[in-house]
Structure 1
C-alpha cells in the first residue's frame, strides 16, 4: 500500500512538472514570435531617439529628474556636444555577464533601458532586492545590502514593475532561471507596480523595431501561471 501511495504521489508531481514546463514553453513561443535580432548600435539608437524619447526628452529610469534633450534624428557627430553633468547610457536589466552578452539577448530592447551612467555603474551586475542597508542613493534608487547581507540594487518605485517584467521576459525567452530570492522580490514588484500606459506603449514601440512583444506586459496575469522562473 505504501509503495502504491508513493507511486501515486510521484505521478502527480510529474504531472504538475510537465504542466509547468508546458506553460513556460507556450509563453516562450509568444516571446520569440517574429523576433528579429538587431545590432546593439541599432537598438541603442532606437531607444534614444524613439522608444524612450518623449517630445525630444530622454530620462534615466533609475534616477528621477535626470533627463536630457535628444533630437529624434541623430545629429552629425562633428556638431554633437557632450552633455554637462550626468551622462546617459543603456542598462542591460539582465546583466551581460550573466547571460546577455551575445545577440540576440544583448540587443533585446525588452530588457534595455536608458539610465544615468552613475546609476548603471552602481547597479553593475548586482541582483535586485529590497535594500535594507543603503550604501548609495540617488533619484529614488538604492545600492546596498539586503536582510541577508547580500550586495544588491533597488530601483525607484516607479520602475520596479518594469524591472520585474523585463526579468521575467528574459528568463523565459532565453531559458535563464532566476534564483528563488530574487524571483520572490520581483513577483512582489510586479504586483506593487502594475503595467501602466507608458509601459504598454513602449512594448508596442519595441515590436515595431524588433518584431516581438513582452507577453508579461501584454498579459500581466501570465506571471501567476508560471510556477517558477
Structure 2
C-alpha cells in the first residue's frame, strides 16, 4: 500500500509543475488583431479574485526581494522594503494600480480593483506623485526627487527603464482581461494622454516601444508564475510579449501556420528525453523547413535543433534536463518566401518526490484524537470548501476522508488538487492541519467527491471534514449561537 501512496504523490507533484503553462495558449498561433485579443480574453477572464486586503499577502510572494526574506521590491524606486509595512507614512507601502483605478472608476472592488496582475508595491509618497497619470516619455519634465529614475509632467509619468516593459505588459493585460462582460468595466488603450476619467489608458505607441525595448526578466516571469498560483490566470504578454504587436501594432502573421504543438511525455521529469512535435504547413502549399529553438532563458533560445519531418509533422528532441529548471522553446519555419516563429512554450522540470504520503483517513485515525496529533505530515486532496483563512480537503469519499486546513497565506479554489505539509493539531476537538510548510497546486477544476447522504441520526466524528448531504431534516433552531 505504501508503494501505491508514493506513486500517487509522484504523479501529483509532476502534474503540478506543468499545469501552469503547457497548452495554456492553445489556439492563439497565427491570430492577430481583435481575433487574438478575444482569444486571449477567453483564456484569462475566469480568474479567482481576492479582497484588496488579501492582495498584500499575494504581493509579498509575487514581488518578493530574492535577497531579503520578507521584503518586496517597489516598482518605481526599485527600493527593497518590508513587505507588510502598509500605512500612511511617506515611506510606507501602498498598492499601486498600474492601470489607474480612476480610469474607469473601478476602485478597489473585485475583480478589477483587486486584480494582482495590476497591483504593485509602491512608496506612499511616490504613489501620490504618480497619481492617475497616463504613461509616456517625459524626460523633459520633472525628475522625481525620490524615484530619481522617473520623470513626470502634469499628465504623464515615465517609469524607470528597468520596469518600462513591465508597466506596458500590465496595461496590455488589463485592456485584454476586462471587456465589459458581467458588469465589469470595458478597458481600452488610447494613443494619447489625458484619458482620465474615461476607461482608457495611454499612450499606446509608447507602451508598445517599451514592451519591445524591455523584455520580461526573471523577476517579472516569476511574478507571473506566483500570481497564477493564486488567481489561476496569467498575463499573456509576459509569456509572449509579441502578442502586443500582433494585436495593436498592425503586425500580421504570414502564411506559415503552426498547429498542434506538444511534447512526449506531456509532463517530462529530469529523467526524460523531451520529444517535441508540431504540425506546420504553408497556406500557399510551399515546402517548409523548421527548427526548434530552445534555452533556459526565454530571451535566449540559442540552442538550435534541426527537425525531422513526416507528413507536415516536425519533431526533435531535447536531452534530459536538471530538476527545477525551466525550458523555453519555439518553432521557427521557412517556406522559401516567408519566415515565422511560433509562440514560446515553457516546460518546468520538477524534482521527483520520493517521500511518503499519509492519507487523510490515516491522519483522522478513526478516532476523535488523531494518532498524528502534534506531528508534521504530508497529505493530498481535493479542496471541497474554502473560507478566508482556511479550507477543507478530501482524498476520497466516505468516513474519515476529509480534514480542515488552517492556512492564512493561501486561498485555493474548490476543485483544486493540492499537496500540503503541515502540523496536525486538535483544536477544540476539531482535527486540523496548520503551520503549512509546503504547498503544491496540482490542478484545477477537478471533480469533488460525491457527498455522503446521511440522516441527522448518523452525524458523527467519522464525518468531520467530509462533504455530506443531509436529507429529510427539519430545522428546529435558527439561532444556535456561535
TM-score with structure 1 length normalisation? 0.77
Q: Which has the higher helix share?
A: 1
Aligned to 1:133: 141
Aligned to 1:192: 213
Counterpart CA distance in 1 for 2:87 and 2:176 is 38
2:96 counterpart of 1:91: yes
Q: CA deviation at 1:172?
A: 1.0
Deviations along 1:102-138, whole A, 9 cap, x unmatched? 3201110111100111111101101011112216343
2:131 counterpart of 1:118: no
Counterpart CA distance in 2 for 1:21 and 1:53 is 35
Q: CA deviation at 1:69?
A: 3.2
Aligned to 2:150: 142
Counterpart CA distance in 2 for 1:223 and 1:91 is 23
Q: Choose from 16, 26, 47 the match for 2:59.
A: 47
Q: CA deviation at 1:197?
A: 1.3
Relative to structure 1, the CA distance from residue 59 to residue 83 in structure 2 (aligned partners, 3 Å threshold; closer, same or farther) is farther
Deviations along 1:175-219, whole A, 9 cap, x unmatched? 311111300110011011101111111101001111100011111
Counterpart CA distance in 1 for 2:174 and 2:241 is 15
Relative to structure 1, the CA distance from residue 123 to residue 84 in structure 2 (aligned partners, 3 Å threshold; closer, same or farther) is closer
2:207 counterpart of 1:202: no
Q: CA deviation at 1:38?
A: 1.0
Q: Choose from 147, 160, 164 the match for 1:160.
A: 164
CA contact (8 A) 2:72 2:80 kept: yes
Q: Indicate the SS of the match to 1:222.
A: helix
2:76 counterpart of 1:68: no
Structure of greater Rg = 2
Q: Which has the higher strand share?
A: 2
CA contact (8 A) 1:137 1:143 kept: no
Relative to structure 1, the CA distance from residue 85 to residue 24 in structure 2 (aligned partners, 3 Å threshold; closer, same or farther) is closer
Aligned to 2:341: none
Query: Larger relative contact order (C-alpha < 8 A, sep ≥ 6)?
Result: 1
Matches within 5 A, 1:27-42: 27-32=40-45, 34-42=46-54
Counterpart CA distance in 1 for 2:86 and 2:62 is 22
Q: Choose from 108, 114, 117 the match for 1:107.
A: 114
2:238 counterpart of 1:217: yes
CA contact (8 A) 2:63 2:121 kept: yes
Q: CA deviation at 1:20?
A: 2.8
Aligned to 2:190: 179
Counterpart CA distance in 2 for 1:81 and 1:166 is 22
Counterpart CA distance in 1 for 2:204 and 2:151 is 18
CA contact (8 A) 2:137 2:158 kept: yes
Structure 1 runs (4+) greater than 4 angstroms displaced: 80-85
CA contact (8 A) 1:28 1:172 kept: yes
Aligned-residue RMSD, C-alpha:
2.5
CA contact (8 A) 2:126 2:147 kept: no
